[in-house]
């Protein structure tokens, strides 16, 4: 019984490590910054938010043609 439990735990640990490695690789592939969404006049506006070295936070508007960037940032946020 203890050996079966140990085997199950080892398999689960290996599976967890595999998932962690996969997520780590995916996070490295995704762009830096954070997605910030505001609602103005009934419309949602998306920005990429970047923390600069001097402590000043900067935002850049994400245009419709750059919607893929917003999707990648949202995906990145789901990992955290």
| Residue-by-residue pLDDT tens, the chain, 80 positions | 688 899 999 999 999 999 999 988 888 888 888 899 999 999 999 999 887 777 788 889 999 899 898 888 888 888 76
**Structural domain count of the chain:** 2
Looking at residue 80, its pLDDT comes to 67
Query: Are 56 and 24 contained in the same domain?
Result: no
Query: Are 3 and 18 contained in the same domain?
Result: yes
Looking at residue 29, its pLDDT comes to 83
**Cβ neighbours of residue 30 closer than 8 Å, sequence gap 6 or more:** 72, 73, 75, 76
Query: Are 23 and 36 contained in the same domain?
Result: no
Query: Are 36 and 72 contained in the same domain?
Result: yes
Range of the domain at 36: 32-80
Query: Token pair for residue 3?
Result: 């050996």
10 Å Cβ neighbour count for 36? 16
Query: Are 26 and 36 contained in the same domain?
Result: no
Query: Are 39 and 77 contained in the same domain?
Result: yes
Query: Token pair for residue 58?
Result: 């900067």
């Amino acid at each position: 019984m203890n050996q079966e439990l140990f085997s199950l735990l080892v398999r689960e640990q290996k599976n967890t490590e595999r998932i962690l490695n996969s997520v780590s690789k995916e996070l490295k592939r995704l762009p830096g910054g954070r997605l910030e969404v505001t609602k103005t006049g009934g419309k949602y506006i998306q920005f990429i938010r970047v923390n600069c070295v001097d402590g000043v936070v900067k935002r850049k508007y994400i245009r419709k043609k750059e919607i893929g960037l917003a999707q990648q940032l949202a995906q990145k946020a789901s990992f955290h």
